[in-house]
Amino acid sequence: MADPVHPRPLVTKGFLLAGAYNVFGMLLFSQLFMNPLLASTDPAVFSWLGQVGIVLWGLAYWAVANTYHHVPKLVAVFAFEKLVYTLAWLRWLSEKAQTLPAIANESPLTAVFFSVYGAGELVFCLFFAWTALQVGKAR
């Protein structure tokens, strides 16, 4: 990131993709906030309010997609937020992975969500951390 004054198109696309992951992913897997199994499976993270919060984070990523290079500390916050969700997913897997077959019987979509969502969180955590470091170094 040699030029901190102008955004890089590929990085901007990463922010747009992260936003889509949150917004459209949550709307899909929550079935437009109508999937009670999502909240009951992990109420600490996926209550109705938690689901809305995830969509709001996605909107925040979109909001800075073209101006991220001006807010490296905010991008670092995004990385930390994604780390928290990654750790929450790993905790859930370590404690409740054995419930996935029962969840799949009730809702295959919800079982897929709990099987994989943290992998995406980790990818975007690394992306945001890398971006924050690159922009911070270039300033």
Q: Can you tell me the mean pLDDT for 21-50?
A: 96
The answer to whether residue 3 scores a pLDDT higher than 90 is: no
pTM: 0.91
Averaged pLDDT of the chain:
94
Q: Are 137 and 3 in contact (CB under 8 A)?
A: no
Give residue-wise pLDDT tens across range 89-128: 999 999 999 999 999 999 999 999 999 999 999 999 999 9
State what percent of residues in the chain have pLDDT above 90.
91
How many CA atoms lie less than 13 Å away from 94 in the CB half-sphere? Answer: 6
Q: pLDDT class for 7, splitting at 50, 70, 90?
A: confident
The answer to whether residue 44 scores a pLDDT higher than 50 is: yes
Q: Can you tell me the mean pLDDT for 18-30?
A: 97
Q: Which residues lie below 8 Å from residue 71, measured CB to CB, with a gap of 6+?
A: 64
- Alpha helices of the chain — where are they, by DSSP H? 9-29, 36-41, 43-46, 48-63, 72-96, 100-106, 108-138
In sequence order, what DSSP letters do the residues of 46-60 get, joined into one string?
HSHHHHHHHHHHHHH
**pLDDT of the residue at 1:** 44
**pLDDT of the residue at 70:** 93
The answer to whether residue 39 scores a pLDDT higher than 70 is: yes
C-alpha distances out from residue 96 to 41, 43, 110, 114, Å: 9, 13, 14, 10
Rounded to an integer, what distance in angstroms lies between the CA atom of residue 133 and that of residue 139? 10
Q: Can you tell me the mean pLDDT for 134-138?
A: 84
